[in-house]
Amino acid sequence: MDIARYLDTIDRLCARPFPAEHGWSDVGREGPGYCIAELAAGDGDAARRERTAEDFEAYREGIAQRLDQRWGAQPAWSTLTLQVRKERGEEIPEPWGSVGELLDEVSLWRTNGTDRWVAIGVAARGESEEVRLLAVVTEIDPP
């Protein structure tokens, strides 16, 4: 794993156009106005799951430090309100609906020059699901 490689992926996503239709790309799930990229995933070993989540959190922090230098430090953003609003029946637009389902907390920035949002988080909720380090790039404002 390499923070420079993850930053390169985020930079490429900030520069390229979003697709017109929902689907999959070389980095993850995409749709009109967004991309949810899987930067890294665990190996499926349940015995190492907790350690993998800790490692991915350290990578998230390393990426966040570098993006803070670019776009300014921001407090972490909890997705709890997204989860509650969705449970109450509110329609949450993508990619934020998925962010609320997958991530408890994200580091979030409004980029300079591209007018896009970048969010980084570790998906580690369900014991049966693989731990993943995710980056979200979108032109859709958080709800």
pLDDT digits over 46-100, tens only? Answer: 778 889 999 999 999 999 999 999 999 988 999 999 999 999 999 999 999 999 9
Confidence (pTM): 0.93
Check residue 1 and give its pLDDT: 58
pLDDT band at 10, cuts 50/70/90? Answer: very high
Percentage of the chain surpassing pLDDT 90? 80
Domain boundaries, the chain: 3-138
43-47, 84-88, 104-108, 116-120: the lowest-pLDDT one = 43-47
Q: Is 53 in contact with 124 (CB distance < 8 Å)?
A: yes
Q: Read off the pLDDT of each residue in 13-23 and give the average, rounded to a whole number.
A: 94
The count of other CB atoms within 10 Å of the CB of residue 138 is: 23
Check residue 142 and give its pLDDT: 94
Please give the C-alpha separations between residue 65 and each of 38, 54, 61, 108, in angstroms, as whole numbers.
Answer: 19, 17, 6, 12
**Phi/psi of residue 38, nearest 5 degrees:** -90, 105
Please give the C-alpha separations between residue 124 and each of 21, 30, 96, in angstroms, as whole numbers.
Answer: 28, 21, 17
Check residue 137 and give its pLDDT: 98
Check residue 47 and give its pLDDT: 79
Check residue 114 and give its pLDDT: 80
